Chains A and B, each alone.
Chain A
Amino acid sequence: MRHRQAIAVLALVGVFVATYLWLYKIGIIGVLQCGVGACETVQASRYAELLGLPVALYGVVGYAVLLVVSLVGLSSSFSGRRGPDLLLAALATIGLAFTLYLTGIELFVIHAVCRWCVTSAVIITAIWVTSVAALRRSL
C-alpha cells in the first residue's frame, strides 16, 4: 500500500504543477516564476498546445486520474488486488512517454527548457518507477 500512497502524494503535487502552467496559459496567472530557464518561450511556442488544448491541461487531467486511481487503490475493497497497480503502471507509462516527447521538443526543437516542465518530468518519472516497482513486487 505504501507505493500507492507515494503515487497519490506525487500525483497531487503533479496536479498543482500542471494547474499552475495551465492557469498561466489561459491568462489567470500573469507571471511564471521561472528562475533559470525559459518558461515563457516554451509556453508561447506552438507546441504548448495539442489538438487545440493547452498541453498543461492534459497534465492536469493525467495527474488527477493517477491521484484518483491511487486513492481508490488504497480503499479496503482494493487492498491486496493487482488491478490498481496494473492501471497505475499503464497510466504512468503513457504519462512518461508523453513527457519524453515534450522534453525532446524542448531540447531539440524549441531549444528552451522550462523549469516547471522539468519538475513535472521528475514527478512522472518517480511515479513510473514506483508503479513499476510495485507491479514487479506483486508478481
Chain B
Amino acid sequence: MRGFYVLLAVVAVGGAGWLIYAAQKKPAEAPAAVAPIPVANDGFKGYTLGSDSAPVEITVYSDFECPFCAAFASVQMPVVREQLIATGKLRLRFRDFPLSSHKYSRTAALAAQCAGEQGKFWEMHDQLFMRHDWAQSDKDPSDVFKGFASGLGIDMQKYQGCMDAQRYAGRIEASYEEGQARGVQGTPSLFVDGRHYEGKANSDDLKQLVDSIISARKRS
C-alpha cells in the first residue's frame, strides 16, 4: 500500500510541475516586421474541374496538409471524376483553406497556385495529395514540391520566381477568409450549389446527391 501512495505522490508532483512549466510558456510574439498577408482582390474564384455547363457545382474548401483532404482527394476524387465530372454532371471548384495548425499548408497551396499559373494546378493538386509523405515529415517540403513541379514539366525558373515572390499568397488568404465567412471550420468542407453539405464526403453519397438534384430539376 505504501508503494501505491509513493507512486501517487510522484504522479501528483510530476503533473503539477508539468502544469506550472506549461503555464510559464507564452506564445511567441509575431515579429513586428512581418506585415499581415494582403488579401488579393483579383476576382479569382478557384480552379475548377469539369464542364462550365455542368448542372451541379461542388466547392471544396481544402488544406493540402490535412490527412482527411488527402484521403478525399486520393480515394473519393477518382470515382467522383469518373462518375460525375467526366459525365458532365458536376463541376468541382477548389478553394484553399489552409488551417493555421498546419505548418506547410500555405507553402503547398502556393506550390499549387504557382503550378496553376502554368496550367498545371490539378496535376500539382494530385501530386500534393497522392504523395502525402511530406505532410508527415515535419520538414520543409519546398524541395519535395520542386520535385513534383519538375516531374510535371513545369518551367522551374518561373515556378521558383512565383514561389519566392509568394505571388499568390493574397489569393490564398482571400480564399481562406471567404471560407471563414461561409462558416467553414474544418477541412474538407463541401458546398453543393452554394449550400453547406453536412453529409459524408464519399463518392457514393455525392453521386446520389448530384443525381437527385439533376432528377429534381428535370421534374420541375
Contacts and interface: CB of A to CB of B under 8 A. Distances in A.
B48 interface: no
A98 interface: no
A28 B68 contact: no
B8 A12 contact: yes
Contacts, number: 69
A23 B187 CA distance: 27
Contact of A40 (B4, B12, B68, B100): B100
Contact of B185 (A30, A36, A46): A46
A84 B69 CA distance: 46
Contact of B8 (A8, A28, A36): A8
Interface stretch (B21-29, B124-132, B158-166, B170-178): B21-29
Given A30-B27, A34-B101, A12 B15 contact: yes
Nearest to A33: B22
B22 A12 contact: no
Given A110-B185, A112-B101, A9 B7 contact: yes
Given A30-B26, A33-B22, A38 B68 contact: no
B19 interface: yes
Interface string B187-214: 1100000000000000000000000000
Interface in B17-69: 18-19, 22-23, 25-28, 66, 68
Contacts of A110: 185-186
A111 interface: yes
Interface in A14-41: 15-16, 19-20, 23, 28-31, 33-34, 36, 38-41
B77 interface: no
B25 to A, nearest CB: 5
Given A13-B11, A23-B23, A112-B101, 18 more contacts: A8-B8, A9-B4, A9-B11, A12-B11, A12-B15, A16-B11, A16-B16, A29-B23, A30-B25, A31-B26, A38-B101, A40-B101, A41-B99, A41-B100, A74-B1, A109-B186, A111-B66, A111-B186
29 contacts: A9-B7, A9-B11, A12-B11, A12-B12, A15-B15, A16-B11, A16-B15, A16-B16, A16-B19, A20-B22, A29-B19, A29-B22, A29-B23, A30-B25, A30-B27, A31-B28, A33-B22, A36-B138, A38-B99, A38-B101, A40-B100, A41-B99, A41-B186, A45-B185, A74-B4, A111-B66, A111-B68, A111-B186, A112-B101
Interface of B: 1, 4, 7-8, 11-12, 15-16, 18-19, 22-23, 25-28, 66, 68, 99-102, 136, 138, 185-188
Top 3 A-B pairs ranked by shortest CB distance?
A16-B15, A111-B186, A30-B27
